[in-house]
Amino acid sequence: MALTPQPTPLTGPRTPEHPAPDPEHIPYRSSTLRQPHRPLVEIDHRADPEAVELHGPVFGVTDVGALDADLTRRHTGEPLGERITVTGRVLDRTGRPVRGQLVEIWQANASGRYAHRGDRHPAPLDPNFTGTGRALTDDDGRYAFTTIKPGAYPLDNHDHAWRPAHIHFSLFGSAFTQRLIAQMYFPGDPLLPYDPVLGSVTDPAARARLVATYDHALSDPERSLGYRWDIVLDGPSATWIEEGR
């Protein structure tokens, strides 16, 4: 599967109009461990174009299919929790749609636990929910996922630390080196002001852009509630990304 090269690069230097987040946000203790402390190693992609893609995460080795975007239909049974639809557009700084963009998501289940051996949170796993999905944007730059609203989970950061409900997003350009990662949050979550990860985004406007909008028109009657979250790849209204991770 080949992605269409985009007219606007997915990565670039930060500018005064779009400052970088604080890489050492003291309230988020893990931030000091999640950033480079040595000079970056330059890889000659012309000599070895696959060198930087040897250890990239992969959620599927086949072409993207219809079921990849519906996380509620991966197993024989129905997953537990509140079914939701999350959709939006991927745009460049001028508002043009980014077509053919690979969008991947991963998340905790409704109990706040990831289907991953590293997650030791004593919440139940859901045998009918894996928590990963992928989709390609259409000609209008739109993506759409059907999933379960994730639950909050404790964070080993400080006393009474809990992460609010969120979904991780990964976007690819024409190569793995253009990968961007962001997190989408839900409106009205009382844990948002206490989250050290969200708090590391010091610009209030940028922080607000990480919160989805509930859109009743996107709801599927008797099936799911709808949320809209647009992703802007660069410029003054860009969606904050997890640099250096």
Q: Whole-angstrom Cα distance, residue 213 to residue 211?
A: 7
Pairing of strands 132-136, 102-106: antiparallel
Cα angle: 188, vertex 190, 195; to 5 degrees? 115
> Contact 80/129 with Cβ under 8 angstroms?
yes
Whole-number Cα distances in Å, 137 to 3, 45, 104, 199, 215: 10, 27, 11, 29, 20
> Contact 105/212 with Cβ under 8 angstroms?
no
Q: Which residues contact 164 (CB under 8 A, 6 or more apart)?
A: 152, 185, 186, 189, 191, 192, 194, 195, 198
Active site residues: 114, 153, 163, 166, 168
